[in-house]
């Protein structure tokens, strides 16, 4: 990708980020919910959002305060290993297949949240949480 295209994307994200920062967002959220979120135009191998809102689905792992949560970006690319967990969830449009990119775990502010699109079932949520724990404390083999 050329430097000009990347610079343009960063400039567009900067504008979107400012709007998101100043916009009042009273959305409520809880663990296991999946939202479209403005995750931005990030650098290097960090996951980034797509489209004019730089958005991507995000799974809420843990609510830390009424404004901040730990989330995991999702992808439609199906992978399943120590750093990824594939699952299906229900949306208003039917079942959807997705993968939690556990290695991209990060803290988000609720101002990034856009629209709630689903809820992860308890069994898959526990598998994601276990793989997340293993990032910090690898299991003994």
The torsion region of residue 94 among left (phi > 0), alpha (psi -120 to 50) and beta comes to left
Q: Which residues of 16-29 are buried (b: 16+ CB within 10 A; e: fewer)?
A: bbeebeeeeeeeeb
pTM of the predicted model, to two decimals? 0.88
CB-based contacts of 128: which residues, under 8 Å, 6+ apart? Answer: 59, 61, 72, 85, 87, 100, 102, 120
Domains annotated on the chain, with CATH = 3-136 (2.30.30.110)
pLDDT in tens, the chain (141 residues): 565 656 787 677 666 666 766 677 789 999 999 999 999 877 778 787 898 888 999 999 999 999 999 999 999 999 999 999 999 998 888 999 999 999 999 999 999 999 999 999 999 999 999 999 999 988 786
Structure tokens given for 38: 């403005």
Give per-residue pLDDT as tens, 76-107.
999 999 999 999 998 888 999 999 999 999 99
């Amino acid at each position: 990708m050329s430097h000009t295209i990347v610079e343009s994307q960063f400039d567009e994200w900067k504008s979107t980020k400012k709007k998101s920062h100043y916009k009042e967002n009273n959305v409520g959220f809880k663990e296991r919910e999946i939202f479209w979120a403005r995750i931005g135009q990030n650098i290097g191998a960090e996951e980034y959002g797509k489209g004019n809102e730089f958005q991507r689905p995000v799974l809420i792992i843990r609510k830390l305060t009424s404004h901040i949560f730990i989330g995991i970006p999702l992808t439609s690319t199906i992978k399943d290993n120590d750093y990824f967990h594939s699952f299906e969830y229900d949306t208003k449009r039917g079942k959807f297949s997705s993968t939690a990119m556990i290695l991209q775990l990060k803290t988000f502010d609720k101002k990034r949240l856009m629209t709630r699109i689903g809820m992860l079932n308890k069994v898959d949520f526990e598998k994601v949480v276990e793989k997340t724990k293993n990032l910090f404390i690898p299991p003994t083999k």
